[in-house]
Amino acid sequence: MTVPREKNEPRKLPMMPIRDMVIFPYMMTPFVVGRESSVRALEEALNGDRKIFLATQHDASIDEPKAKDIYQVGAICNIVQSVKMPDGNIKVLVEGVERAKAVEITDRDGFFVATVRTGKRDFEMTPAVEQLMQRVTTLFESYVKLQQSLNYEAIVATVRMDEAAKLSDTIAANLQLNIEEKQELLAIFDPAQRLARLADMLDVEIEKLDLDRNIQSRVKKQMEKAQKEYYLNEKIKAIQKELGRGEKSEFDELRKKIEAAGMPKEVLDKCIQELKKLEVMPPMSAESTVSRNYIDWLLAVPWKKRSKETRSIDFAEKVLNADHYGLEKIKERILEFLAVRQLVKNPKGSILCFVGPPGVGKTSLGMSIAKATGRKFVRLSLGGVHDEAEIRGHRRTYIGAMPGQILQHMKRAGTRNPVFLLDEVDKISSDFRGDPASALLEVLDPEQNTTFQDHYLDVDYDLSQVLFVATANVMHTIPAPLQDRMEILRLQGYTEQEKLEIARQYLVKKQREQTGLSEKNIVFKDDAIVEMIRAYTREAGVRNLEREIGNICRKVARKVVKAGARHKEEITAANVADFLGVARFRDSEAHEQSEIGLVTGLAWTEVGGSILTTEVQVLDGKGKLTVTGQLGDVMQESAQAALAYIRSKAPALGLTREFYRSIDIHLHVPEGAIPKDGPSAGITMATALASALAKIPVRRDVAMTGEITLRGKVLPIGGLKEKLLAALRAGLFEAILPRANEKDIAELPDNIKNSMKLHFVDTMDEVLALALERPLPTPLPEAAKTLAAVPAEVAGNLPAPQ
């Protein structure tokens, strides 16, 4: 069927921009006209054939739109009725005639005139179009059923028609779409294409409405369930009241707990206020759960409960000595702390920080302090913590928020005055979530921690009664402000004798019990323990030693199970290898004979001391200094300083001032795979250089350590105890040390002071006099004359190490 239309020709019509609506053909639409330009366009149309072109604005907020602010496609409408209202506005009823496109928009006498062109005038109805019309009608009926805001009977009746164009425009006008989508439909001139697009839009809208209905149904069921539970709970309460059981409500019990908790007044007021809010909340609401958890946490942390302290100095000393061997300075400081607590009624909490290598007993010392003082003990490991909320907690606005670890551990302790161990405080990290070390500043400051605020509780909490003990392996990773708030107590590595005593008194007994053995099954001789210390462990503490003792005990336990309970093993130095295999380490030993250019130095490592051999070889060359042995920058600079000193003393060594120009010097520190650094090998290198150049052997029975300056001064070093222990293990009983370290003699163990002869020196000349087997040769006369004429800076420019 073909519907004849008038010839499609452009025509000029008054134009009115409209806001927040799209007018379709065949539809009657009322609206109010108030803008002056729109009123003039309306009057122009009323004075003519009552036809006007209506097009929608892009942006409804623009009061005076330009041509570019208006969609090009709109509707030609008949003005059916117009009524002027008291406020000056005009109420208009228009009927859409057909869609048209503005090809030109001009401004005339204060209103728009559009030259419009309508669409194609004839349309062929085909079976495909009829099928599409039927599908769109069916979809629209389903849409109206789901859309509660539309009257099903009235709307469905209006779309029962045979014309494709009229059907598509009527349905488009009744769909609840946004302006852009409606404008898209208006811009489609072909009815078949318009129907196809409508079908797609209806599919999407129906899917949305189905989803909304399912969600509403689910929410309704949940609300009905919550209301039912609330009703039943209230009914149960009423029944119990009628039965006269006299049971107090849950809120009354909470109120009693709050009043008995011993909270400060500000905290008590806040808790009571939170309880009042909880009473009026629906029991199943999310807010009530948050409030209840908050009240439970306020009740869980200790506000007044304290451990009864044991203030007996004798008992504390007995406990510390029973749990730890040695560590006299640490024990003295703890006993001093207890003595002060007996004299001062309310002393401020002390913050102790034990710094030392792994395995020396830092963590177990914290447990012993709690045992000696009768306090509760809690431990917080800070290794790898990188979120500030771990310390202070999250605010209650976050889902799943909890207090920080400080208050969580206070809850676990159950008292206001526990011993709180902050383990591995040197391994705290930070990222975009904050810096936990900065949060600890308030915790560890006795002047501030009386009013510590956790983000979750948001009330002041007093930590001043807590004895904080921190542990660390190194100091340089701890921020300076945090170090300033702690009293640093350094734990040195154990000596061989101390390790032997610890093994005899503690480790052997502990491992024997853990493996189910008795003294009748296994006996450790002292030489066996010494052999394990020297050949199977290389550490400052005793952790690996305990592990090796445990390995032997397990092997013996297996033999006991096979051979019977009477089986006995005696562990000696001779049979340790049968249980532990080949020795893993070997102690460096002194040289068999004195040699030229070979010197024994002393070094400090994180696992104790060791001897450090330094070798120098003089070769033909052009004055190059080669330094090998994987030495760090500081050690390489020490080699250059040593050579500069030797060059300045060339006449004393029987050398000319230009001696170095015809030779190369190679300085090597063996065990080249191990990195080495530090300034304390300065005098060792200088002695080796002097020996190699003067051709005088160095005494094999002397060890040395000290930093050297360009003028031959010997400066102090660290790690004296560990270095001298290494010398003793290597069979060296004489050592050359800086004079400035003489004050450290008091802290050395008695076995070192009684076994070794220690020489304290100020200058390199004294070192050479003690270390070389024979005195240096008499200075060359011509060399001495030359030297007298040379300025002080004889060291000159040295060749860079290769």
Q: Which of 362, 680, 691, 721 is catalytic?
A: 680
pLDDT digits (tens, 9 = 90+) for 777-802: 766 554 444 433 333 343 333 343 33
* Cα separation, 140 vs 159, whole angstroms: 9
C-alpha–C-alpha distance, residues 709 and 330, integer Å: 36
CA atoms within 13 A on the CB side of 73: 17
Q: Sign of torsion, CA 14 17 20 25?
A: positive
Q: For residue 17, which amino acid is it?
A: P
Alpha-carbon dihedral 360, 362, 364, 367, rounded to 10 degrees = 160
* Strands 714-715 vs 625-628: parallel, antiparallel or unpaired: unpaired
Three-class SS state of 420: strand
Radius of gyration of the chain (CA): 47
In angstroms, rounded to a whole number, what is the distance separating the alpha carbons of residues 201 and 203? 5
Distance between CA atoms of 65 and 19, rounded to whole angstroms?
10
Residue 204 CA from chain centroid, whole number: 46
Catalytic annotation, pick one of 331, 649, 721, 723: 723
Tokens of 336: 């001093």
Instruction: Show Cβ contacts of residue 241 under 8 Å, excluding neighbours closer than 6 positions.
Output: none
Q: Is 508 helix (H, G, I), strand (E, B) or coil?
A: helix
791 class by beta-carbon count within 10 Å (0-12 exposed, 13-18 middle, 19+ buried): exposed
Task: Give the number of other Cβ atoms within 10 Å of residue 736's Cβ.
Answer: 24
CA distance 496 to 529: 10
Degrees to nearest 5, angle at CA 536 with 534 and 537:
75
> What is the rounded CA–CA span in Å between residue 3 and residue 121?
8
Please state, in angstroms and rounded to a whole number, the distance separating the CA atoms of residues 271 and 54.
Answer: 65
| Distance between CA atoms of residues 79 and 464, nearest Å | 85
Q: 26 φ, ψ to 5°?
A: 75, 0
Instruction: Take residue 255 and report the two structure tokens written for it.
Output: 């109120």
User: 48: which DSSP letter?
Assistant: T
- Asked whether the beta carbons of 656 and 780 are under 8 A apart, the reply is yes
Pairing of strands 452-453, 351-355: unpaired
N-to-C CA span, the chain: 101
What's the rounded Cα separation, in Å, for the pair 312 and 306? 18
Question: Do 764 and 714 meet the contact criterion of CB atoms below 8 Å apart?
Answer: yes
What CA–CA distance (Å, rounded) separates 211 from 480? Answer: 59
CA distance 711 to 601: 21
Contact 202, 185 (CB under 8 A): no
The answer to whether 489 and 360 have CB atoms below 8 angstroms apart is: no
Backbone angles phi, psi at 586, to 5 degrees: -135, 140
Name the residue type at position 742: E
Helix axes 179-186, 164-174, angle to 10 degrees: 170
Angle between helices 164-174 and 191-243 (to 10 degrees): 30
Percent of the chain, pLDDT > 90?
A: 17
Query: Within 13 A of 27's CA, how many CA atoms are on the CB side?
Result: 23
3-state secondary structure of 488: strand
Q: What tokens does 412 get? A: 């676990």
Quote the pLDDT of residue 784. 42
pLDDT of residue 791: 38
- Contact (Cβ atoms closer than 8 angstroms) between residue 464 and residue 346: no
User: Rounded to 5 degrees, what angle do the CA atoms 275, 276, 281 make?
Assistant: 95
pLDDT for the residue 349: 60
User: Which residues lie across from 598 on neighbouring strands?
Assistant: 615
126-184 pLDDT, tens per residue?
888 888 888 888 888 888 888 777 776 667 766 777 788 888 888 888 888 888 888 88
Q: 610 catalytic, yes or no?
A: no
DSSP string, 754-800: HH-EEEEESBHHHHHHHHBSSPPPPPPHHHHHHHHTS-S-TT-PPPP
Structure token pair of residue 215: 């969600």
**Is residue 168 annotated as part of the catalytic site, yes or no?**
no
Average pLDDT of adjacent 10-residue blocks, the chain of 802 residues: 52 90 89 89 89 90 88 91 88 90 88 87 78 84 78 70 82 85 88 87 86 80 73 72 58 82 86 83 77 87 85 85 81 82 71 84 86 88 81 82 87 89 85 75 81 86 87 86 85 79 88 88 89 83 88 91 87 88 73 86 77 90 88 90 89 81 90 79 93 91 93 90 82 91 84 87 92 77 42 38 37
